[in-house]
Amino acid sequence: MDRKRAVNSTGERASAKLRKARIRHFLLTTGPNRLTRGWFYRRHHAEDLLVREEDIFVPGWPKAFDGIRIGHISDIHVGDLMLADRALGVVEQLRIAAPDMICNTGDLVDLHWPGVETVAEAIADIKAPLGNFFVLGNHDLLDSGDEVARIVSEAGTTVLQDEVALVRRGEDELRIGGIGWARTPAQCKQRIDRAIGDETVDLLLSHNPKALDHAAIKGIPLTLSGHTHGGQIARRNRPNANLAVIHGHIRNAGLYEHGDSRLFVTVGAGSLFPLRLNVPAEIAILTIRSQ
């Protein structure tokens, strides 16, 4: 009886979050679009996607994997603002970039998971020689995180839910940890500890960049995150002066250092509302250099 009550309580919380997300979506997206007779959507869909190339020098990065190119994609948000056909175009640009590894740090869906199957399959079909990895974001959980994880896994991508995967190149090994959605630094800590225990990890995937502090304590050289969208609106030439700061995301766009640990936060390929100003949507192609 207690277990049934706990399951019901979890389901009720998930439903409440979905309802709130749908209201927010109406207020910020579908409502304004109707008032402008579709102008918001037309303008948003006309914006280009940036393929961002960046070298990252990482202390402690395994020498055997020096120079690997990671295709870091996040926050596609398949839904009204990212129809499946448009998302497939984004994935095609990732394929053309031909990264050695693909790391997807979540929010594949916006509100509802049906219709995301073709996008998950297209991402998995990119034959990255060092693997294709995914962690769940908060939006992936709104409708059904289990369904999103199932779809991505069945497509052929490795879904990491508080666990570690090994990538081998000859005799050498790269250890990749991935944690599920965690809202606070304390929750990030719990998930990181659950995932890696006392083991060493070279790369951590976390939707929330608040994982960095504990990742640094654990000696993880590199963390990849998304979630913030870079605020979507920022001051010109000052990417960190953006709307994400309102929500307490002090590490919200680009590269950060914490001791010998590094964090890269992509501003994402999709959007939460149909306006980006000085924060173009992106796919990040990261060349990781040993330091």
Q: What are phi and psi of 262, to 5 degrees?
A: -125, 145
Would you state the pLDDT for residue 13? 67
Give the C-alpha separation, 142 to 138, whole Å: 7
Q: If one looks up domain 49-290 in CATH, what number appears?
A: 3.60.21.10
The terminus-to-terminus CA distance of the chain in angstroms comes to 55
Q: What is the pLDDT of residues 170-200, one digit of tens each?
A: 899 999 999 999 999 999 999 999 999 888 9
Would you state the pLDDT for residue 7? 45
Residue type, 93: Q
Residue 237: pLDDT band by 50, 70, 90 thresholds? confident
Closest CA to 249 of 289, 275, 220, 279: 279
Give the residue-averaged pLDDT of 254-268.
Answer: 97
Q: Across the chain, how many H-helices and E-strands are there?
A: 8, 14
Q: Token pair for residue 239?
A: 């990417």
Contact assessment for residue 115 and residue 78, using Cβ atoms and an 8 Å cutoff: yes
- DSSP string covering 97-109: H--SEEEE-S--B
Q: How far is CA 5 from CA 17, 18, 141, 145, 208, in A?
A: 18, 20, 20, 20, 29
Most distant CA atoms of the chain, gap in Å: 60
Q: What is the pLDDT of residues 26-73, one digit of tens each?
A: 998 899 889 888 888 888 888 889 999 999 999 999 999 999 999 999
Q: What is the pLDDT of residues 242-259, one digit of tens each?
A: 889 887 888 999 999 999
Q: How many residues does the chain have?
A: 291
Would you state the pLDDT for residue 1? 46
Q: Token pair for residue 178?
A: 């991935």
Q: What is the pLDDT of residues 75-108, one digit of tens each?
A: 999 999 999 999 999 999 999 999 999 999 999 9
Contact assessment for residue 160 and residue 177, using Cβ atoms and an 8 Å cutoff: yes
Which residues on adjacent β-strands are paired with residue 71? 102, 285
SS3 127: coil
Q: Hey, where are the domains in the chain?
A: 49-290
Q: Is 3's pLDDT higher than 60?
A: no
Q: Is 5's pLDDT higher than 80?
A: no
